[in-house]
Amino acid sequence: MGFATDAIHAGVRPDPTSGSVMTPIYQTSTYVYESPGKSTGYDYARTINPTRSALEENLRVLEGGRAASAFASGMAAISAVMTLVKAGDHVVVSHNVYGGTYRLFARVLQDYGLSFTYVDTSKIGNVEAALRPDTRMVYLETPTNPIMILTDIAQVAALCRARGLISVVDNTFLTPCFQRPLDLGADVVVHSTTKYLNGHSDSVGGAVILARAEHAERIQFVQNSVGAILSPFDSWLVLRGLKTLPLRMRAHDLNGSKVARFLEGHPGVARVLYPGLPSHPQHDLALRQTRGSGGMISFYLKSSEAAGRFFKPLRLCALAESLGGIETLICQPSTMTHASVPQEDRQKLGLTDALVRISVGCEDVEDILADLERGLAAS
């Protein structure tokens, strides 16, 4: 089936008791046994829930994996992925990953005997140079947030395969609609479903999709053992959101490229970071590896003072963290999403106060452009 057909139908079957076309919210904690020791296959709702299973099957198909598990947040999903390594192991990480991921690695997992090296994974030589005898995993985010650096997934995945390392890709920004890391040879895909997959800014969730049987078994075991599961209601919301993923992503991409071109041509903007623009240093890789650039754009204003004036006049673009919803959100990463990154690292990465990140929504693009014009006129 095609991607749009899968987005609507994969994992979804009419409910056997009523014929309900849409998957019900199975709001139950437990299930009746047929006889002692003989369940229907459903025993307890932390372990298995039909609404969650429908979502997991849908995500499995969309990413082209062997199995999928849904979690209570993107961070819970990433935490589960990190149980594929153990104390004493070393992980190579893309150097400007999502702030919460960095915080989990640097301030939680490091205390449990894992070590991390952050490198610019856009250059394969950096990844190779960072490998040590105890390296077990390479963790990529592409494009990175918010600097929009791409990593060649096929190249890193091939290196990992040759060295027996686990390759992980956070695919939150582009979704399987525009980028399918498992097809490119990666072992694990992780998502914050909070963003584009749910798409309506009304649920927090995460998912892990796996290519290899031994990883799938481990993640399922950890999902049940740790218990950071996605609730039935949130599973239903994400499943509902996924039905329009291809429609929404097309709209985000169309609006995103128009906004990126507008910003690039504006005298108040110093630089635009958007892989869909020919000016992006990795535009060729974007064309090769992705089927669209979506709605995430970062841009530098002329100064941090200009940024101080830019946000005030905005009326449509909401000043908020998060991204990937149908409404346009805008933020200053240095003081918001990436405030937990140490000042020195922020400077190194180019995360200055002049940097603005916008998650372009599905509104009429003329209204988004007019709002940005208001901000830029004041900046």
Ligand X SMILES: *Cc1c(COP(=O)(O)O)cnc(C)c1O
**Alpha carbon distance 132, 352 (integer Å):** 32
Nearer to ligand X, 337 or 379 (CB): 337
52: Cα separation from own chain's centroid: 19
Nearer to ligand X, 74 or 256 (CB): 74
79 makes contact with ligand X (CB under 6 A): no
Residue 169: CB minimum distance to ligand X, A: 10
Residue 26: active-site member: no
Q: Which of 180, 195, 248, 346 binds ligand X (CB under 6 A)?
A: 195
* List 6, 89, 152, 170, catalytic entry: 170
142 makes contact with ligand X (CB under 6 A): no
204 makes contact with ligand X (CB under 6 A): yes
248 makes contact with ligand X (CB under 6 A): no
State the pairing for strand pair 296-301/269-273: antiparallel
Q: Which of 12, 57, 64, 100 binds ligand X (CB under 6 A)?
A: 100
Q: Which of 7, 54, 75, 362 binds ligand X (CB under 6 A)?
A: 75
**Alpha carbon distance 286, 219 (integer Å):** 30
Contact between residue 253 and residue 292 where contact means Cβ atoms under 8 Å apart: yes
Binding range to ligand X, per CB under 6 A, among 19-27, 42-50, 95-103, 157-165: 95-103
Residue 21: CB minimum distance to ligand X, A: 29
Residue 4: CB minimum distance to ligand X, A: 24
Residue 196: active-site member: no
95 makes contact with ligand X (CB under 6 A): no
Residue 43: active-site member: no
Q: Which of 23, 79, 142, 192 binds ligand X (CB under 6 A)?
A: 192
104 contact partners, CB below 8 Å, separation of at least 6: 75, 78, 79, 82
Contact between residue 41 and residue 30 where contact means Cβ atoms under 8 Å apart: no
* List 98, 102, 196, 274, catalytic entry: 98
Nearer to ligand X, 58 or 201 (CB): 201
* List 15, 31, 42, 46, catalytic entry: 46
Quick one: CA dihedral 30, 32, 37, 38, positive or negative?
Answer: negative
Residue 75: CB minimum distance to ligand X, A: 4
Tell me how many helices (H) and strands (E) the chain has. 14, 12
Nearer to ligand X, 322 or 352 (CB): 322
140 pairs with which residues across the strands?
169
* List 52, 136, 195, 357, catalytic entry: 195
Give how far Cα 377 sits from Cα of 79, 93, 123, 333, 369, Å.
43, 39, 38, 21, 12
Element (H, E) at 130: helix 124-130
98 makes contact with ligand X (CB under 6 A): yes
Contact between residue 56 and residue 12 where contact means Cβ atoms under 8 Å apart: no
In the 8-state DSSP scheme, what is residue 186? Answer: -
101 makes contact with ligand X (CB under 6 A): yes
Percent helix, percent strand, percent coil in the chain, to nearest 5: 40, 15, 45
**Total number of residues binding ligand X (CB under 6 A)?**
16
- 50 prior amide bond cis, ω within 30: no
Binding range to ligand X, per CB under 6 A, among 2-10, 22-30, 191-199, 328-336: 191-199
Contact between residue 204 and residue 194 where contact means Cβ atoms under 8 Å apart: yes
344 contact partners, CB below 8 Å, separation of at least 6: none
Residue 195: active-site member: yes
Binding range to ligand X, per CB under 6 A, among 96-104, 180-188, 354-362, 371-379: 96-104
Name the residue whose CB lies closest to ligand X. 74
List of residues contacting ligand X (CB under 6 A): 73-75, 98, 100-101, 141, 145, 170, 172-173, 192, 194-195, 204, 206
Active site residues: 46, 98, 170, 195
